[in-house]
Structure 1
Amino acid sequence: MNQIFKGRYSILLGFLIYFIVFSFIIRTILFVSAAQKAEFQFLEVMRFYLVGFLFDLGTGLILTTLYSIYLLVIPHRFYVKKWNRVLTLSIFFLFLVITLFSFFAELTFWQEFESRFNFIAVDYLIYTYEVIHNINESYPLPLLVGGILLIALGLTYLFYKLKIFSSSFKSHNRFKNRLLYATLTVVPALLFLFIVKNNWAEQGNNRYTNELSKAGIYSFFAAFKNNELNYHDFYSLIANKDAFALVRKELTESNSSFKNDRFSILRNLKGTDSAYKPNVITITVESLSADFLAHYGNTQNITPRLDSFANHSVFFSNMYATGTRTVRGMEALTLGIPPTPGSSIVRRMDNEHLYTVGHVFEEKGYVNTFFYGGDGYFDNMNHFFGNNGYNIVDRGRKLLNETYDGTRTLISDDAVTFENAWGICDGDIFNVVIKDADEKYKKGQLFNNFIMTTSNHRPFTFPNNKIDIPSGSREGAVKYTDFAIGQFIDQIKKKPWFKNTVIIIVADHCASSAGKNEIDISKYQIPCMILNLKNTENRNISKMTSQIDLFPTLWSLLGWNYTSEFYGKNVLDQKYESRVFLGTYQKLVYMKGDSLVILSPHRKIDTYLYNKSKNEQKPFALPKKIVNQGIANYQTAFDLFRDGKLRYK
């Protein structure tokens, strides 16, 4: 060992020690943070430190693989040259900066998601413009970058004082010794890279323990590699005919009739053939958790208008989002489909010309428009909406070679009073919607508007002097969004088109998805309400419902006949049985009543009984029928999209 520290590989070994020590420190900080929200057994702590050490060691070896090979092949006469010293020191310093930045990023990512890097981090890397601006507005970026550079300089100086650099450059290791050192570092690195799976860290029921067992950088590249998951390759299956039979039976309603194709969910829904066709404005609120509202026990008084609207609406008080990202909410609200594994369909290839909620409105004579206060390029939103029956109005940039079936209108500067990294404030986007509605009303056009808000997103900034909480906090952002929605409805009440306009307020997902359990059901509950629905009494729908059930229920209340390729159902139908679909990009959840089924890669199935009042999930052997029902929904949803059977015809 002493010869290694005094040999050519001393810098590599020193970097490994630095990486493992700092990884240990980061893991400990995250552990202290998690310990405030969950209890840990002694063996759990020992496990995540031991497993974490192995992941850190493997990651460190992978990071140094190319350098190890370089040390093996470069002859001594070149290794001692000045140019090599400069190159080695430069690369060493660069790797310090990169790994230190990743450690800092892990801390901030954990603060937001209470997770090591995952598929969300991969998504965010693609959209560097929005993310860098978001970081800059949320944190003192110059100080952070300066701090990272200072720490990197300090570590470099420490290596210099310990004579690690001089020991390396003055050494004269024989090739056979270098070959031994290279074998001891490169071979384990390659074995780790190609054999060890990131989910090997997920061995217990405590989600925090599983996350703490991982290494952030390795988790990031594992998520990048697993961008999309083929359901058939990774999840439990049942016979295809049985899967469709189960789903068709579950989707059967008192007024439904299926087409002849038994490997399809295409069906006709018979209404009263009503002529009632109101304009529809759907306000999809960023990160609006149910527990922000007083209706769910919040005492901060940050949603006074929403709580008031809930009392005068068709209020879905027990609704659940399908995922933890905005694109999952959009997927649920436009396609009415369970969250299939991998990225949301909004972000996938071949997602054009699908049968969407917008097409049902289009067949009734409506003009569909997607409104977004940011750049709709983010998360592929413009491509999805623009090629699935919607026009687009966003605050974006004109892109070369962009093509949409619908039109795209950019929000002009004179329509903006406040803007941050994620887009214009909610008040501004609502003013844009009002102006657009006025124009459509003058033309005699029915409109279906899908609005995506942005103010309740980090950095949580909004116009001054609107509410009694200053910018910069989640509570303030929620209250500002509540204020903006209230002001919007107050304004449109004066419009001639208001009496024939229905307003829907629904969240895309919750503010946080992390909790004690691997899938914390309480972190998916969202508020949803339908306002100004003619000839419909105010009511509280307390049945457990999903985001995907919203529009089928609305169309039933409107009395419409329509064709459906949606997994959503009318929750007021006499045959409706409560079930919801939840998920991350890998975990797929089916819950019926208190029966909870979680499907995971490697064909893993976990079943629980869910106690909502205690937010407890106890392992329980559920009947095979319920497990197969969960499998059937996700299996058929994956197949229908993959096979192009959800296309608009």
Structure 2
Amino acid sequence: MFGFALFTIIYFVFCTAFFEIVQKPLFGLYNRSVNPEKTTFKDVRQVYSHGLVSDLIIASYLTALPLLISAIHTMLPCFNVGVVLTVYNVIIALAVALICIADTLLYRFWNYKIDASVFVYLRSLKGAFASVSTAYLIVAFSVVFVCAGIFFAGAEFISAKCSSSLLSGPWLEWWKCLLVFLVMAVMIGLLFAIIRGLKIRPNNPSVVYYSKTPFFNHWALNPAYNMIYSLGTKDEFKGKFRFFDEKECDDILNPLFPTSGTTERKLLRTDRPNILLVVWESLGAEFVPSLGGKKDVAVNFDRIADDGGVLFTRCTAGSFRTDRGLVCILSGYLGQPTTSVIRYTRKLPNLPALPRRLKEEGYVTTAVHGGELTIMHKSDYYLASGHDTLVSQKDFPTSAPTCKWGIQDGYMFDFIYDDIMEKTRKGERWFTTFQTLSSHEPFTVPYNRLPDDEVGNSFAYTDHCFGEFVDRIKKTPAWDDLLIICVADHGYNASHNPVSRQKYAHIPILLTGGALAESGRIDTIMSQTDLAATLLGQMNLPHDEFIFSRDILADTYKEPFSFHTYTNGFMLTDERGSTIVDNVSDEAIEGADPGRERKGRAILQKLYEDLANR
């Protein structure tokens, strides 16, 4: 009666084994020349251990229909289950083989995993095959059929054996059918759990990313999984937001985004400081007393700003979520109102990136987060943007104090301190990105400064940890060449107490550390995206590749404004005011101004044109 359950388990194991025994060795051996470094046994072991989860996910997809077919046949044996499974095995074998072989062959040319973009090329078969010889095509399709034959032979052997023994039997009584149905429901739930994952956010391809070498991440990632996932992330860039002809758009934008200039105000006393970038979860200006925020929250933040720091007081967040904010900060790249570029793994290496630029100057680069880096494709982006080392929750003991999203900020600031001490001992020049998490719902923190305000209390906790960290590091030799940059990923907007978009988007940027040559407040209007170019300007490094980031302390910054995007809308702010535009109605919903609207639409047009070409 429960033979279908055993059949499902065997079929699942076979599907997983096919990718482990056939697909991965084939991909690795054929593309081994893509990786210039020697591949060690440890590398192979890590590829298999990290990639297994994506193989299990695809095995779950492939097993779902055989589970349903066999369970239904067990309850209602009114059709030839062997024939139905044979048809299914033929289709799946061909599909799996095509994806696996195409991925293996194309990787040498594309250097990224096969995804839905392949269908664009297949619209013209003549063009798709124009650059390869007939002999190459014959060999390629022969390998496809061999792989399909291997998969079909194994799946059909299991199906034939099980259909003649485990899946054969008479009609069942109603109560036995009910038991079969319950077992089927449980197994479907297990397959769904494997596909989705058990974490807060559903699985995505970054669940296998672990290495600073893209080849190893791509080797680990199951091509069928990347294909399925990419089908849900269609190209949302090409042809979007077309308002002007190309010349008119460029005429509007050229004065707005200068990519060169001479820095007029020097904040640093050294061109090559060690840099700690603290990305503070949701730190809107409403929590900073000196910016008109709550009086008892970010008091240490203000104390540090007053004690030799530099505070940028009129910065606007690039967008409204962390996945957008990280790209705004590290790539100086504008947030998108209809999607998030961080989801498009193959575009990420083509974005400008501050850590990658500093690596060229000899910096050791690290990204640290107390949570899961697979959420929102953070690991994909951190690696693509040039971080050599990733540190996340899995790298810490289970005894570390945690909240819903990961390890509390106090513990993580202690880790950052120890890491800086180790890098100082080694004499390294380094750049570290540290993303906090305690000031995120459900705002559960080991702190009680504001017992009647759980949200404010969580920010006060991170403020306390940040203050203790700065006071502690200030007493060490590491302070002398240290630049700490503290910036929010986005603002905070409670659904039960919404604020205006201007207030929500208002965030602070704070510089502190022994590398500073001066202190004070900078009240120039700026965007979060301007941090990258402004920092590079202070380091006397070019920033022309950061086309949407401006050095606000340079002589070319003649038109101060900020740009913020939200769900299918944008806000542009200059010295005269703010204009908020809804892209769906294509109308200003607040602060209508033809000049600002024209600039905002030109920015969107250029942004999406640029993304389509990356």
The 5 Å alignment of 1:518-537 reads 520-532=501-513, 534=515, 536-537=517-518
% identical aligned pairs: 22
Letter in 2 for 1:277: R
Letter in 1 for 2:573: M
Deviation, 1:527, is 1.4
Which digits, 9 at most, give the CA deviation of each residue in 1:347-385, with x for residues without a partner?
A: 323233232011221122111111000010111101111
Question: Which one of 327, 342, 346 corresponds to residue 346 of structure 1?
Answer: 342
Q: In the superposition, relative to structure 1, how do residues 502 and 436 fare at CA in structure 2: closer, same or farther (>3 Å)?
A: same
Q: What residue in structure 1 maps to residue 406 of structure 2?
A: 423
Deviation, 1:435, is 2.1
Deviation, 1:475, is 1.6
Deviation, 1:580, is 1.3
Distance, in Å, in 2 between the alignment partners of 1:590 and 1:496 is 43
Deviation, 1:325, is 0.9
Which digits, 9 at most, give the CA deviation of each residue in 1:228-275, with x for residues without a partner?
A: 67355553421123323432332226727xxxxxxxxxxx99999996
Distance, in Å, in 2 between the alignment partners of 1:384 and 1:578 is 29
Distance, in Å, in 1 between the alignment partners of 2:390 and 2:453 is 27
Q: What residue in structure 2 maps to residue 326 of structure 1?
A: 322
1:497 aligned onto 2:475: no
The 5 Å alignment of 1:224-263 reads 230-231=236-237, 233-252=239-258, 255=261
Q: What residue in structure 2 maps to residue 370 of structure 1?
A: 367
Check whether the contact 2:270–2:481 (CA below 8 A) recurs between aligned residues.
no
Structure 1 residue ranges without an equivalent (≥5): 1-81, 95-124, 133-223, 257-267, 398-409, 609-616, 645-649
Distance, in Å, in 2 between the alignment partners of 1:540 and 1:589 is 24
Which digits, 9 at most, give the CA deviation of each residue in 1:87-107, with x for residues without a partner?
A: 9xx99xx9xxxxxxxxxxxxx
Q: In the superposition, relative to structure 1, how do residues 535 and 227 fare at CA in structure 2: closer, same or farther (>3 Å)?
A: closer
Check whether the contact 1:461–1:477 (CA below 8 A) recurs between aligned residues.
yes
Q: What residue in structure 2 maps to residue 304 of structure 1?
A: 299
Q: In the superposition, relative to structure 1, how do residues 588 and 492 fare at CA in structure 2: closer, same or farther (>3 Å)?
A: same
The 5 Å alignment of 1:158-177 reads none
Distance, in Å, in 1 between the alignment partners of 2:510 and 2:474 is 17
Distance, in Å, in 1 between the alignment partners of 2:613 and 2:346 is 10
Deviation, 1:467, is 4.6
Distance, in Å, in 2 between the alignment partners of 1:422 and 1:479 is 18
Q: In the superposition, relative to structure 1, how do residues 469 and 600 fare at CA in structure 2: closer, same or farther (>3 Å)?
A: closer
Check whether the contact 1:235–1:600 (CA below 8 A) recurs between aligned residues.
no
Q: In the superposition, relative to structure 1, how do residues 127 and 316 fare at CA in structure 2: closer, same or farther (>3 Å)?
A: farther
1:486 aligned onto 2:467: yes
Distance, in Å, in 1 between the alignment partners of 2:276 and 2:268 is 22
Distance, in Å, in 2 between the alignment partners of 1:472 and 1:518 is 17
TM-score scaled to structure 2, two decimals? 0.58
Q: What residue in structure 2 maps to residue 622 of structure 1?
A: 594
Q: In the superposition, relative to structure 1, how do residues 521 and 298 fare at CA in structure 2: closer, same or farther (>3 Å)?
A: closer
Deviation, 1:488, is 0.9
Q: What residue in structure 2 maps to residue 579 of structure 1?
A: 561
The DSSP-based 3-state class of the residue aligned with 2:347 is coil
Q: In the superposition, relative to structure 1, how do residues 488 and 480 fare at CA in structure 2: closer, same or farther (>3 Å)?
A: same
Deviation, 1:307, is 1.3
Q: What residue in structure 1 maps to residue 425 of structure 2?
A: 442
Which digits, 9 at most, give the CA deviation of each residue in 1:462-497, with x for residues without a partner?
A: 23xx55345991121111100000111112112222
Q: In the superposition, relative to structure 1, how do residues 348 and 338 fare at CA in structure 2: closer, same or farther (>3 Å)?
A: same
Check whether the contact 2:268–2:518 (CA below 8 A) recurs between aligned residues.
no
Q: In the superposition, relative to structure 1, how do residues 541 and 272 fare at CA in structure 2: closer, same or farther (>3 Å)?
A: closer
TM-score scaled to structure 1, two decimals? 0.55
The DSSP-based 3-state class of the residue aligned with 2:277 is strand
Distance, in Å, in 1 between the alignment partners of 2:275 and 2:287 is 25
Q: What residue in structure 1 maps to residue 387 of structure 2?
A: 390
Question: Which one of 536, 556, 561 corresponds to residue 537 of structure 2?
Answer: 556
Aligned length: 402
The DSSP-based 3-state class of the residue aligned with 2:333 is coil
Structure 2 residue ranges without an equivalent (≥5): 1-172, 186-194, 203-229
Question: Which one of 129, 137, 144 corresponds to residue 199 of structure 2?
Answer: 129
The DSSP-based 3-state class of the residue aligned with 2:311 is strand
The 5 Å alignment of 1:32-71 reads none
Query: Over aligned residue pairs, what C-alpha RMSD do you find?
Result: 3.8
Distance, in Å, in 1 between the alignment partners of 2:575 and 2:439 is 31
Distance, in Å, in 1 between the alignment partners of 2:347 and 2:339 is 12
Check whether the contact 1:596–1:607 (CA below 8 A) recurs between aligned residues.
no
Check whether the contact 2:324–2:336 (CA below 8 A) recurs between aligned residues.
no
Q: In the superposition, relative to structure 1, how do residues 246 and 438 fare at CA in structure 2: closer, same or farther (>3 Å)?
A: same
The DSSP-based 3-state class of the residue aligned with 2:511 is strand
Check whether the contact 1:255–1:270 (CA below 8 A) recurs between aligned residues.
no
Letter in 2 for 1:385: Y
Distance, in Å, in 2 between the alignment partners of 1:234 and 1:562 is 27
Distance, in Å, in 2 between the alignment partners of 1:303 and 1:518 is 19
